[in-house]
C-alpha cells in the first residue's frame, strides 16, 4: 500500500498559517514585552523560559494527538486503517523530531559562544542578536523543509540524503574538531567590502548612517555569521528529521519549537557547555542511525521503522553521552 499523507497541505494550509501566526505572536511577545529593555539574561530567567518553550512543545504534542484521534476517523482517505495507532504514531513522530532537532541544535550553541565572544557582544545585546538569528533560522528552515518535502518523493533522493547523514555522522565520530574562525569566513569578508563596519557598537543597532553612508555595526556582522552557521547546520538537521517522519507538518512544527527554545537554552547552558565533551559522539551516532533508517531500516521493517524504537535509540544515545560527560572527569592539562 502506498503511503498516505496524513496532513496534506491542500487540506491543512490553514493549520500552517495559524501555526505561523502563533509563532510570530510568541516572538513579538518575547521581544516586545518581556525583552523590551535590553538586559543581560540571568540563569534564572533562562531556566524559566526554557521550561516555557519545553512545556509549549509538549502541550502541542498532546494537542496534535487528540486532534488526530478525532480527525483521522472522519477522513475517508484513511478508511480501514488503525486510527488510534496513527494518532499515537503522529504524536511520537513529533516528539522524536523535537528531540533530534533540539539535540542537533546544540551544535549551534557552541557556535554562539564562540561568535558572541569573538565579536565581544555585550551581555545586554546578546538576546537581541540571537532573537533575529532565530527568526532568520525559522525562515530558512521553512524553505529547506518545503524543498525537502518535494525532493523526498523521489527514492534516489532518500538514499542520497541517507548516505550523506551516515558520512556526516562518521565524520563527527572520527574527525578531529577544527576551531571556528569567524575572521576567515568568506561571506564576512565580502560583507566588509560591501558595507563599512564601525569599530565599536552603537547601542543595539545593526545598521546606521554615518556622514550619509550606511555602516554595519559589529552586531550586524555577528548576526550574519550566526545566520550562515544555521544554514550549514540545517543541511544536516532537516534530512535527519525526514528520516523519522514523512509528514512536512510534523517536520515544520517540531523544527519551530526546537529553534524557539534555542536562545533560552543558550543562556542556561553557556557556562557549562564545555562539560558535555562527549556530546559530539552521541550526535554522530544519531546521524548514522537516522541515515541507516533512510537507506535500509525503513524498508527492512516494511516501510517504516517503529517510531517508538527510534525515540528510544535516540534518547539512549544522547542520554548516555551526557551522563558519561558528567560522570567521567576531564583530564587536567599538564603544564610544561
Q: What's the mean pLDDT in 207-226?
A: 88
Using alpha carbons, select from 325, 316, 295 the residue that is nearest to residue 166. 295
Angle at 4 between CA 8 and CA 290, to 5 degrees: 95
Q: What's the mean pLDDT in 295-311?
A: 87
DSSP 41: P
The per-residue pLDDT for 304 is 82
Specify the residue for cell string 556526516.
168
Q: What's the mean pLDDT in 181-203?
A: 78
Q: Is 90 helix (H, G, I), strand (E, B) or coil?
A: helix
Specify the residue for cell string 525559522.
138
DSSP string, 160-216: HHHHHHHHHHHHHHHSPPPPP-GGG-HHHHHHHHHS-B-SS--TT-SEEEETTEEEE
Higher pLDDT, 70 or 127: 70
C-alpha cell at 188: 564576512
The per-residue pLDDT for 334 is 54
Q: Is the pLDDT of residue 176 over 60?
A: yes
The per-residue pLDDT for 2 is 60
- Dihedral sign (CA 272, 275, 277, 279): negative
**Are β-strands 213-216 and 207-210 bridged in parallel, bridged antiparallel, or unpaired?**
antiparallel
pLDDT band at 332 (very low <50, low <70, confident <90, very high): low
The per-residue pLDDT for 1 is 44
Q: Can you give the residue ranges of every domain in the chain? A: 9-155+174-271
pLDDT band at 183 (very low <50, low <70, confident <90, very high): low
pLDDT band at 180 (very low <50, low <70, confident <90, very high): low
CA–CA distance, 187 with 185 (Å, rounded to integer): 6
Query: Among 123-127, 190-194, 251-255, 293-297, where is mean pLDDT lowest?
Result: 190-194
Q: Is 305 helix (H, G, I), strand (E, B) or coil?
A: coil
Q: Is the pLDDT of residue 51 over 90?
A: yes
Backbone angles phi, psi at 197, to 5 degrees: -110, 130
Q: What percent of the chain has pLDDT over 70?
A: 93
Amino acid at each position: 500500500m502506498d503511503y498516505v499523507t496524513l496532513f496534506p497541505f491542500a487540506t491543512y494550509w490553514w493549520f500552517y498559517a495559524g501555526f505561523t501566526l502563533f509563532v510570530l505572536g510568541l516572538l513579538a511577545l518575547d521581544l516586545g514585552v518581556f525583552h523590551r529593555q535590553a538586559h543581560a539574561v540571568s540563569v534564572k530567567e533562562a531556566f524559566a523560559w526554557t521550561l516555557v518553550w519545553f512545556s509549549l512543545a509538549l502541550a502541542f504534542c498532546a494537542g496534535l494527538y487528540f486532534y488526530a484521534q478525532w480527525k483521522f476517523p472522519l477522513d475517508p482517505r484513511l478508511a480501514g486503517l488503525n486510527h488510534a495507532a496513527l494518532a499515537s504514531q503522529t504524536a511520537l513522530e513529533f516528539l522524536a523530531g523535537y528531540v533530534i532537532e533540539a539535540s542537533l541544535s546544540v551544535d549551534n550553541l557552541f557556535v554562539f559562544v564562540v561568535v558572541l565572544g569573538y565579536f565581544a557582544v555585550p551581555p545586554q545585546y546578546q538576546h537581541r542578536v540571537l532573537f533575529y538569528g532565530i527568526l532568520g533560522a525559522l525562515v530558512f528552515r521553512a524553505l529547506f523543509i518545503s524543498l525537502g518535502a518535494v525532493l523526498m518523493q523521489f527514492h534516489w533522493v532518500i538514499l542520497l540524503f541517507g548516505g550523506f547523514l551516515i558520512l556526516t555522522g562518521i565524520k563527527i565520530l572520527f574527525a578531529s574538531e577544527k576551531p571556528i574562525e569567524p575572521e576567515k569566513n568568506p561571506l564576512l569578508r565580502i560583507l566588509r567590502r560591501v558595507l563599512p563596519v564601525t569599530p565599536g557598537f552603537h547601542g543595539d543597532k545593526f545598521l546606521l548612517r554615518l556622514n550619509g553612508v550606511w555602516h554595519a555595526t559589529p552586531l550586524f556582522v555577528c548576526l550574519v555569521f550566526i545566520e550562515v552557521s544555521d544554514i550549514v547546520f540545517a543541511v544536516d538537521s532537516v534530512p535527519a528529521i525526514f528520516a523519522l517522519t514523512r509528514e512536512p507538518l510534523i517536520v515544520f512544527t517540531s523544527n519551530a519549537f526546537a529553534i524557539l527554545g534555542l536562545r533560552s537554552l543558550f543562556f542556561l547552558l553557556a557556562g557549562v557547555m564545555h562539560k558535555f565533551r562527549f556530546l559530539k559522539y552521541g550526535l554522530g551516532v544519531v546521524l548514522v542511525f537516522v541515515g541507516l533508517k533512510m537507506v535500509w531500516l525503513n524498508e527492512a521493517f516494511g516501510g517504516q521503522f517503529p517510531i517508538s524504537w527510534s525515540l528510544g535509540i535516540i534518547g539512549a544515545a544522547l542520554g548516555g553521552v551526557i551522563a558519561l560527560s558528567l560522570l567521567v572527569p576531564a583530564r587536567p592539562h599538564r603544564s610544561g
